[in-house]
Amino acid sequence: MLYLELAVQGLVQGSIYALIALGLTLVYGLLRILHVAHAALFTLGGYLGVLVTNATGSLTLALLVAMILVGLVGMLVYRLCYQPILRKPPFVALIASIGLFIVAEEGFRIVFGAQGLSYASPPLQEPVSLFGGIALKQAEIAVMLGGAAVLAVLGWLAGHTRIGVACQATVSDPAMAESFGISLAKVRYLNFFIGSALAAAAGVMVALLNNLVEPGMGSVPSYKALAIIVLGGLGSVPGAVAAALVLGVVESFGTIYLGDLLDRDAIAFAFMIAVLMLRPQGLFARG
């Protein structure tokens, strides 16, 4: 029973990781940039979700507003921060991104206060009993189902639409894709929009699960999402999703069995380092 419960909790956490890591891995696949500031967009999504829900009383509206606005902010981040330094060595973008993330976190603290915000009347908190005597909050179920739905839709779009195929072509060979008439700029903006919107959705859901948004809520996911995309084989979307779910479950069991030795984050990174030493190309990368 304990095992089942741990596994399910791990999957809930893993679904959130997957939503965050997806945007990160899209950006990496396209631009070879480790987009640390991605987690700032996740936090922004959380704040917008809480603010709009409290103002209008509708979580659905809040989710939509957060996703669209944050998606646009993501495009802006690409235009203003990354596009000018694409030709520089990779550490330049990485360090710039860390700087941007720190500025954003501090910005949230200054604008919204260090205490954080919560929902006036948090929606989706009713427990639902499932098979095997496990009870989950509605919000937790929504996270898992929502995550799965998003992945299914994205997977279908990538394979069955012109723009999806264009994205895939750009990832595998940008120069060749461009010579076939694909607009690199369009593909990049689209990827930043989708990835950022997904991060915002994850932010809204995490705010719902903890009933709290605070300036620092992005730090742990940001570094962990990096671990996840590395585990998945940098730039691989299915790899990142699988790694996110695996890491959620590993953490969930690890905190029970290794909790005295390491804290939750350390378990995640210990797992990542161990995997990298054995398979430097990541868990799910080919070759």
Partner 1 sequence: MEYEITLLTTMAISVLFALSLNLITGFCGQISLGHAAFLGIGAYTSAMLTKAGVPFLAALPAAMALAGLVGVVVGLASLRVRHDFLAITTMGVGFLFIGVVRQQELLGGAMGISGIPAPGMDKPAFMALTLGLAAATALLSFYVKRSWMGSVFNAVAEDEDTSRVLGIDVPRYKLVAFALGTVLAGLAGALYAHHLRFIGPDSFGFIESVSVLTMVVVGGIGSVYGVVCAAAVLSVLPLWFQFIDDYKLLVYGGLLFLMMRYSPEGLAGLVRRLRQRRAMA
What is the C-alpha to C-alpha distance for residues 106 and 155, in angstroms, rounded to an integer? 35
Phi, psi of 283 (to 5 degrees): -65, -45
The DSSP symbol for 121 reads S
Q: Name which position in 16, 18, 34, 59 contacts partner 1 (CB under 8 A).
A: 34
Secondary element (H or E) of residue 274: helix 264-278
- Please provide residue 211's backbone torsions phi and psi, each rounded to the nearest 5 degrees: 50, 45
Only one of the segments 176-184, 196-204, 236-244, 257-265 lies at the binding site for partner 1 (rule: CB under 8 A); that segment is 257-265
- Among 70, 12, 65, smallest CA distance to 194 is for 70
Q: Identify which range of 51-59, 62-70, 95-103, 237-245 contacts partner 1 by CB under 8 A.
A: 95-103
Stretch that binds partner 1, among 55-63, 175-183, 202-210, 258-266 (CB under 8 A): 258-266
Other CB atoms within 10 Å distance of the CB of residue 128? 12
- 285 binds partner 1 per the rule CB under 8 A: no
Structure tokens at 158: 């990538």
Q: Is 95 in the site for partner 1 (CB under 8 A)?
A: yes
Contact map string, positions 105 to 124, toward partner 1, x by CB under 8 A: xxx--x--------------
Binding mask 203-242 for partner 1 (x = CB under 8 A): ----------------x---x--xx--x---x--------
Site string for partner 1, 14-33 (x = CB under 8 A): ------------------x-
Residues with Cβ within 8 Å of residue 206, at least 6 apart in sequence: 16, 42, 46, 217, 221
**Residue choice 4, 58, 76, 84 for contact with partner 1 (CB under 8 A):** 84
Nearer to partner 1, 51 or 98 (CB): 98
Strands (E), the chain: 127-129, 135-137
Residue 137 backbone phi and psi in degrees, to 5 = -70, 150
Which chain residues interact with partner 1 by CB under 8 A? 32, 34, 81, 84-85, 88-96, 98-103, 105-107, 110, 219, 223, 226-227, 230, 234, 259-263, 265-270, 272-273, 276-277, 280
